[in-house]
Amino acid sequence: MISCPFFRQTTVFCLHPDYLSLEPFLRALPSLFAEGEGELIHDGRNKLRLLTYQSTNYVVKQFRQPNFINQWVYGTFRKPKSQRAFENAMRLIQIGVGTPQPVGYINYRRGPLFADSYLVTLKSECPWRYDMLFHRHFDCQEDVLRAVGRLTACLHEHGITHLDYGRGNILFAQRAGDIHLELVDLNRMHFGPVGMIDGCKNLRRLPATPQMHRWIAEEYARVRGFDAGECYELMRHYREGEPGQEAGEFPVN
């Protein structure tokens, strides 16, 4: 068989400066996933595995291989999801927003076509997701929701809109009486000014009772200098969705 150099596999990887020693681990990821190593913690469009390397736990996300057109797009014009997620995580950390510590990513191409990609982070120390507020009692529920309002306001004040701001992508923990939040699934974000209407639209994927919306709205409005009642009505409106009206969409950066 004659190999075609045009479709030779190439590898691009990036490691956080504090984790440069993990290059062998990153390069072994395709084999580790193929052999079913570690604990499979999510198996959907993308796969998540909890892997231990040198006594440290890492969460590794294997992104689904894109279709042929997107293989060309990601291989030629657009940043791969793993790279965007890593860079967005670094950006959140810079503004004081919690997210699992990004470790690195590795991407594979065959010639001009994008193939596979992996993102590595430290395992989050937050044991709960936002959606668990609906499945068990938390004495700190109000504190969690007010913290969500403040965190969302912080993102928007910095011109950042998380486009997958859903129930499974906000993690929380209670530590010494304080609420700690972390955001995950960071590859889809928009960067640009966020006004009150678009800011409240951004919360439409978070389920909430009227009281939960009030707590979120009060903190969001307080931080951003908006009217809390108006924010509450907007959040309720876009969450419930009036017939024939859809919340606006942001372009993906």
**pLDDT tier at 236 (50, 70, 90 boundaries)?**
very high
Alpha-carbon distance values, 181 to 145, 147, 173, 216 (Å): 10, 8, 7, 14
Query: What's the pLDDT score for residue 5?
Result: 53
Query: In 186-223, which positions are buried (b, 16+ CB within 10 angstroms) versus exposed (e)?
Result: bbbbbeeebebebbbbbbbbbebeeebbbbbbbbbbeb
> Residue range 234-253: average pLDDT?
60
Q: Say yes or no to pLDDT of 204 above 90.
A: yes
Mean pLDDT, all residues of the chain:
88
Between 34 and 247, residue with greater pLDDT: 34
Query: What's the pLDDT score for residue 112?
Result: 64
**pLDDT tier at 114 (50, 70, 90 boundaries)?**
low
> Residue range 85-89: average pLDDT?
97
Q: Say yes or no to pLDDT of 202 above 60.
A: yes
Would you state the CATH architecture of domain 128-240? Orthogonal Bundle (1.10)
Between 11 and 33, residue with greater pLDDT: 33
- The rounded distance, in Å, linking the Cα atoms of 29 and 26 is 5
Between 199 and 113, residue with greater pLDDT: 199
In which residue ranges of the chain is CATH 1.10.510.10 found? Answer: 128-240
Query: What's the pLDDT score for residue 70?
Result: 52
As a CATH number, domain 5-122 is 3.30.200
Query: What's the pLDDT score for residue 11?
Result: 81
Q: Say yes or no to pLDDT of 165 above 70.
A: yes
Residue pair 26/58 in contact (Cβ under 8 Å)? The answer is: no
**pLDDT tier at 242 (50, 70, 90 boundaries)?**
very low
Q: Which residues contact 220 (CB under 8 A, 6 or more apart)?
A: 149, 150, 152, 153, 199, 200, 203, 226, 231
Q: Say yes or no to pLDDT of 179 above 50.
A: yes
**The CA-based dihedral angle spanning residues 73, 77, 79, 81, taken in that order and rounded to the nearest 10 degrees:** -10
Q: Say yes or no to pLDDT of 253 above 50.
A: no
pLDDT tens string 31-59:
999 999 999 999 988 899 999 999 999 99
> Residue range 85-104: average pLDDT?
97
Q: In the structure, how many helices (H) and strands (E) does the chain have?
A: 8, 11
In which residue ranges of the chain is CATH 3.30.200 found? Answer: 5-122
Place of tokens 């890593």: 86
Provide, rounded to the nearest whole percent, the portion of the chain with pLDDT above 90: 74
pLDDT tens string 137-164:
999 999 999 999 999 999 999 999 999 9
